Amino acid sequence: MSKSYYVTTPIYYVNDKPHIGHAYTTLACDALARFKRLDGFDVMFLTGTDEHGQKVEAAAQNAGITPQAFTDTVSQNFRDLTKSMNFSNDQFIRTTEPRHYAASQKIWNRLLERGHITLGAYEGWYSVRDEAFYTETELVDGKAPTGAPVEWVAEPSYFFNLSQWQDKLLDFYDANPAFVAPETRFNEIKSFVKGGLKDLSISRTTFAWGVPVPEDADHVMYVWLDALTNYLTAIGWSEDGEGDFSTRWPADLHMVGKDILRFHAVYWPAFLMAADLPLPKRVFAHGWWTNEGQKISKSLGNVIDPLSLVEEFGLDQTRYFLMREVPFGRDGDFSKSAMIQRVNSDLANDLGNLSQRTLSLIVKNLDGAVPAIASKLPEADKVMLDAVDGLLDRVRKLFEEQAFHEALRIIWEQISNANKYIDSQAPWALKKTNPERMAEVLGLLAECIRQFAILLQPFMPEATAKLLDQLNVSSSDRGFDKIAGLARLTSGTVIEKPSGVFPRYFEDTAR
Ligand code: ME8
């Protein structure tokens, strides 16, 4: 049986339309999920929407409709985004589903039965925008450290005994040095926990849009306890026989933005330990996108709509840019000029021209019959093929570290090599002087292009499918068990006149 791999995105608040940040997180998980499937894993890739809490209740009130009607509409926008971005999620969870109420109440009861929940009263600061509690000392100029406004809250509340979990969390971090990445973020989490933990308020009474606390109808569950539990709901934890829970849990990776790392790396493991459940294997916190150097915000009016990028530059071009431009884990800036550069230079010139030139020459000079790779290659050819055969192992390792940008960089190193090779060998000139050598060169290039296309499927599923169609590679021969020297392009395959896969971007001056 193939090994299971379970990857999750955050579930997004439905107070607003999806933007580039949401698309980015889910895209990274999509690339990972696709990679793992090609590498023979049985993948579960989860995304969805977080529909409770004060923020969503307020947004519904502003829109003049019920929270349920409001969440139905906005959640659909996120579901539509998965289609438009070609995300391959296996499920889309909504926290308003009955199965999720059941799972949230189940975890609550487990915490209660084990003595980790007590009734008290909360008095302190709360930020609706962050859906988070803050202490007086954390405030900066009367605001949350994130810049969000805070309000004073005083109400009865149930508490989770988070303060009791400090040492156990620190021991867990020590024993699992890869639990949080990047490392600098892990260090921030460790210092936060070393600084001491306060018991956490986990219920609210001043609004109603949430999962009811079992047997106390005055309280709804704190939205983060409900939200984090989605990772269990989706794999059937609340169902009879527990669905896929035993084979899927613990999750292999929770992908999050740096803004919500504390919830995933401190509160979530504490809840799980307290509920006697295994802890996820890893949490990766990626960085933050800005727009031409500015923070992205609705009030600045510079929110980037991923769909407008797709419309202007193309889907796979947008996917490639987002994964390539910024070292994954760091903050990054969106700039149109960088986007144009990537589309024209990396895609249209490097990969596009390489394959267009190679395949056209095979059609023109060899009647479309792809030549076999010679059994004994000249040294320079062998070096190039070995480097391409060696990519999969290196890329696999980089995917384990979520270094997606680096994976693309090393693939492009080989694409550049192949471009240098075609220029230096000049197969177009060999037709008359040395047709055998021409066939050898084109055969080698076609094989390299096949491997590039197979390796790049997680990032650019549509464009690579076109390339592989052009090379006549059958859909059952596109997995990672067919590259790295384990198989070769079948010689004698007849290909047809190719058409360009990566068009150049021309600035429309009238725009
Ligand atoms: O926090 N750059 O939902 P949310 C990069 N419901 N990523 C960004 C971004 C930006 N400028 N803006 C948003 C919540 N993101 C909770 C999560 S999980 C159990 C509950 C991405 O709608 C990034 O992944 O505010 C961030 O963590 C997430 O959107 C926050 O989405």
Proportion of the chain above pLDDT 90, given as a percent: 91
374-417 pLDDT, tens digit per residue, is 888 999 899 999 999 999 999 999 999 999 999 999 999 999 99
- Residue 123's φ and ψ, nearest 5 degrees, are -135, 120
pLDDT above 60 for 509: no
Q: Which two tokens stand for residue 146?
A: 């994130």
Q: What is the mean pLDDT of residues 448-462?
A: 98
CA–centroid distance, 135 to ligand 1, in Å, is 23
* Ligand 1, atom nearest to 255 Cα: 24
10 CB within 6 A, ligand 1: yes
Ligand 1 near 252 CB (within 6 A): no
Supply the pLDDT for residue 16.
79
Q: How many angstroms separate the alpha carbon of residue 10 from the centre of ligand 1?
A: 7
Ligand 1 atom 9 nearest Cα: 21
| Mean pLDDT lowest among 182-186, 290-294, 448-452 | 290-294
Q: What is the mean pLDDT of the chain?
A: 95
- Measured torsion, CA atoms of residues 145, 151, 152, 155, in degrees rounded to the nearest 10: -110
- 333 close to ligand 1 (CB < 6 Angstrom): no
Does any ligand 1 atom lie closer than 6 A to the CB of residue 498?
no
Q: pLDDT at position 374, please?
A: 82
**231: Cβ below 6 Å to ligand 1?**
no
What Cα–Cα distance (Å) separates residue 85 from each residue in 259, 402, 448, 461? 23, 20, 27, 10
On the question of pLDDT at 511 being above 70, the answer is: no
Say whether pTM exceeds 0.95.
yes
Of 109-118, 287-296, 303-312, 501-510, which range is least confident? 501-510
What pLDDT, on a 0 to 100 scale, did the predictor assign at position 242? 77
How far apart are the C-alpha atoms of 474 and 471, rounded to whole Å? 9
pLDDT confidence bin for 251, thresholds 50/70/90: very high
Determine the residue of 14, 15, 19, 24 to mutate for testing ligand 1's pocket, defined as the one with the most ligand atoms within 8 A of the Cβ atom. Answer: 24
Atom of ligand 1 nearest to the CA of 259: 27
For ligand 1, atom 8, which residue shows the shortest CA distance?
21
Which amino acid residue places its CA nearest to atom 3 of ligand 1? Answer: 12
Nearest protein CA to atom 14 of ligand 1, as residue: 12
Residue, of 240 and 255, whose pLDDT is higher:
255
pLDDT of residue 1: 64
| Residue 253 C-alpha from the chain's centroid | 10
What CA–CA distances, in Å, run from 33 to 10, 26, 37, 47?
A: 15, 10, 6, 12
Which residue, by CA, sits nearest to atom 7 of ligand 1? 21
Q: How far apart, in whole angstroms, are the C-alpha atoms of residue 302 and residue 19?
A: 10
Mutate to test the pocket of ligand 1, among 56, 224, 259, 323 (most ligand atoms within 8 A of CB): 259
Homologous superfamily (CATH) of 336-482 is Isoleucyl-tRNA Synthetase; Domain 1 (1.10.730.10)
- The band of 261, judged by pLDDT with boundaries at 50, 70 and 90, is very high
Residue with tokens 């609705």: 298
Q: Is 329 in the pocket of ligand 1 (CB under 6 A)?
A: no
